[in-house]
Structure 1
């Protein structure tokens, strides 16, 4: 069975966030589109968008909120190096909700004053907050 599974590791500048063996598939939103990687897939390196990474097992699925970074897959090991990443049980819902509200306020302000840089930063902050909140809504 081991040759039909893959190992998944997610690291951030703060350290390891996720490390599991025997996954059957990993589903990622890359800058080039959505991909699913199974054991024995050809090597891949891809940039990641802000989204949930889904790690599938025979008996279920884990999800991790990943905020950018990249994935490297080879020899049945998927290594994700992310700007930040959180497991659903580690997400502070109140803090994520506050971040969402602040980002929405910044977006409104940036549109009022036509500040493209502020708008871009606020849109990224909003995507991050929504990504985190989406994993807590089960």
Structure 2
């Protein structure tokens, strides 16, 4: 019997390789155009990513989930590469630190809205999205 086709997944950030798995059966990411599921032999694709979880399923109901903060994916020949601003596995997320970042971002966002400071407002919105992404991934079952 032939071996089951799988994906080789790699997530790279400015700090280096954050995740690698050679046996992924399904990858699910959120692109700027919507959710994208990739299985072996999927057509080639390049897409920009949202600040959102990335889920990789493999083996007997096993999966890894990471908080991915922007970037893009490239897929071809059963190799999926994610180049992200940052990526953090669920088990390495410091929930208290993420909650503090959320509170800081909310405070900065409110202050920027009152001052009509769109640049600061945009940065605070991104910081808030990143904090919420980390909190959501950490609390996922």
TM superposition score category, shorter chain reference: over 0.9
Alignment of 1:1-138 (within 5 A): 2-59=3-60, 60-137=62-139, 138=141
CA RMSD of aligned residues (A): 1.1
Equivalent pair of 1:2/1:22 in contact (CA under 8 Å): no
Unaligned runs of 5+ in 1: none
How far apart, CA to CA, are the structure 1 residues paired with 2:9 and 2:26? 9
Deviation (angstroms), 1:91 = 1.1
Deviation (angstroms), 1:100 = 0.2
TM-score, reference length from structure 2: 0.94
Equivalent pair of 1:41/1:76 in contact (CA under 8 Å): yes
Unaligned runs of 5+ in 2: none
TM-score, reference length from structure 1: 0.96
Equivalent pair of 1:97/1:133 in contact (CA under 8 Å): yes
- Tell me how many residue pairs correspond in the alignment: 138
How far apart, CA to CA, are the structure 1 residues paired with 2:53 and 2:138? 11
Deviation (angstroms), 1:2 = 4.2
1:4 aligned counterpart, secondary structure: coil
